[in-house]
Amino acid sequence: MSRLTVPAPDDVPAGAQSTLDTIGAQFGFVPNMFTTLASNPTVLDVVMSLQGALSRVLDAKTRHTIALAVSQANGCDDCLAIHTYVSSELGGMSSDDIDLARAGSSIDPKRAAVARFAQQVVDSRGQVSDADLAAVRGAGYTDPQILAIVTVAVQVLLTNFLNNVNQTDIDIPAVNLGRYARLTAGTPVEART
């Protein structure tokens, strides 16, 4: 059960309602996380502005891979649900690639390096090793792209933290869960990492 107040539809501040309408049009529903954030329109605006700006820094599948890898490493069930849904239903990723991203890999070698690096950023709190940097560079990423990878990872951490603090009720439509998701269903997050 969510621990923070989720405003009733009639109580959503006017400035936030148009943002929720846009989210609803994009996803076909408004996830609980965004409805909760609407209680503070400035926070909702920050999250949406950051997500919008970062949609331009890397291709969509790479961003989805980072989101899945980081959300798994950080144990955010709500973010795993939404990123699985978005990656599958809107992003064209296969269930196998979603499973691999959660495990810090990918069917694509370049994205596998991103997933490993993003999880290393989370696990080390940004204190990655020279070998970690060499590995992501060796996969073909430039230093400006590495800055983008870290920034996307931190943006995902922001929503992970918001959802973990809130214990957001998961309201994401069911998707074709892959092997990893089926194997870990019902397993406490701490035991998955």
Domain boundaries, the chain: 59-186
Q: What is the pTM of this model?
A: 0.87
> Residue 9 has what pLDDT?
87
Nearest-Å Rg of the Cα atoms of the chain is 16
> Residue 175 has what pLDDT?
55
Residue from 36, 53, 70, 62 nearest 140 by CA: 62
> Residue 91 has what pLDDT?
87
Tokens 């939404």, residue located: 82
Q: Report phi then psi at 18, rounded to 5.
A: -65, -35
CB of 120 within 8 A of CB of 128? yes
Q: Which CATH number fits domain 59-186: 1.20.1290.10, 3.10.20.30, 2.120.10.10, 1.20.1260.10?
A: 1.20.1290.10
> Residue 124 has what pLDDT?
96
> Residue 70 has what pLDDT?
97
pLDDT along the chain (193 residues), means of 10: 88 91 91 94 95 94 97 93 91 92 95 97 96 97 97 96 94 61 44 40
Residue 59's contacts (CB-CB under 8 Å, 6 or more residues apart) are: none
Residue from 142, 139, 154, 185 nearest 67 by CA: 154
> Residue 174 has what pLDDT?
60
CB of 47 within 8 A of CB of 37? yes
Tokens 């959802």, residue located: 163
